[in-house]
């Protein structure tokens, strides 16, 4: 049965969305084509009508994953444009370093979920991942309302600390939940302390 162009585009979109979520949940090597297409409501063979290879799908899914934003995790409204940069930073850090984000990698930050996989996946995936990281740096700099070298350095340090803390919190959550919570709480206070 022939599928319309509209339906084909919807099918492709469903595959990319499913892959972006599943790769963040299970890693690039932790999910197969059959699981991705099943999650998208399609058959296994349908994937190769849309993508030249599983690697091509992984690259596109990784780019899609970087469209993720921090604030939906906690149901927070994005800070308004008239909110002070310190308040915006506080909201973002505390949302990112939350138990909800830690416990739902498929709905969260691709940098924390896929960095190690991307580093091992070769230069094409590394390039895609670098594009996503750079996009996040640029978005974060806009929140901090700066475009100079000092703001970029602060952004990179803050984002790197947040990603590292989330990775460690996820890695320790099952074995030592108290340590996992301590990691999140410590970095929240180090990066964006609550005002007393």
Q: What is the CATH number of the domain that holds 21?
A: 1.10.10
SS (H, E, C) 72-130: HHHCCCCCCCCCCHHHHHHHHHHHHCCHHHHHCHHHCCHHHHHHHHHHHCCHHHHHHHH
pLDDT value at position 80? 56
Do 174 and 81 share a structural domain? yes
Low-confidence ranges of the chain (pLDDT < 50): 72-77
User: Would 62 be classed as within a structural domain?
Assistant: no
Using an 8 Å Cβ cutoff, are 163 and 115 in contact? Answer: yes
- Residue 28, number of CB atoms within 10 A of its CB: 22
Using an 8 Å Cβ cutoff, are 160 and 138 in contact? Answer: no
d(CA 35, CA 40): 9
pLDDT value at position 8? 79
Do 171 and 133 share a structural domain? yes
Domain holding 22, by residue range, is 5-54
CATH of the domain at 179: 1.10.357.10
Do 12 and 100 share a structural domain? no
Tokens of 167: 């990775």
Exposure string for 119-136, b = 16+ CB within 10 A, e = fewer? eebeeebeebbeebbeeb
Residues composing the chain:
196
pLDDT value at position 77? 47
Do 101 and 165 share a structural domain? yes
d(CA 101, CA 72): 10
pLDDT value at position 162? 97
pLDDT value at position 75? 44
d(CA 47, CA 40): 10
Do 76 and 152 share a structural domain? yes
Residue with tokens 């896929």: 114
pLDDT value at position 82? 63
Do 97 and 26 share a structural domain? no
């Amino acid at each position: 049965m022939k599928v319309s162009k509209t339906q084909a585009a919807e099918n492709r979109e469903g595959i990319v969305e499913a892959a972006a979520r599943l790769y963040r949940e299970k890693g690039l090597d932790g999910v197969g084509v059959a699981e991705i297409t099943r999650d998208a409501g399609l058959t296994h063979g349908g994937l190769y009508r849309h993508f030249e290879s599983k690697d091509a799908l992984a690259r596109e899914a990784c780019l899609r994953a970087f469209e993720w934003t921090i604030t939906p995790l906690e149901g927070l409204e994005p800070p308004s444009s008239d909110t002070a940069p310190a308040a915006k930073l506080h909201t973002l850090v505390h949302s990112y370093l939350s138990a909800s984000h830690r416990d739902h990698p498929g709905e969260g930050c691709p940098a924390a979920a896929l960095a190690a996989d991307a580093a091992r996946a070769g230069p094409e995936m590394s390039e895609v991942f670098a594009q996503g990281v750079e996009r996040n740096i640029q978005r974060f700099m806009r929140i901090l309302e700066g475009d100079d070298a000092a703001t970029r350095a602060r952004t990179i340090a803050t984002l790197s600390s947040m990603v590292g803390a989330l990775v460690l919190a996820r890695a320790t959550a099952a074995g030592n939940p108290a340590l996992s919570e301590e990691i999140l709480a410590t970095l929240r206070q180090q990066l964006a302390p609550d005002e007393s």
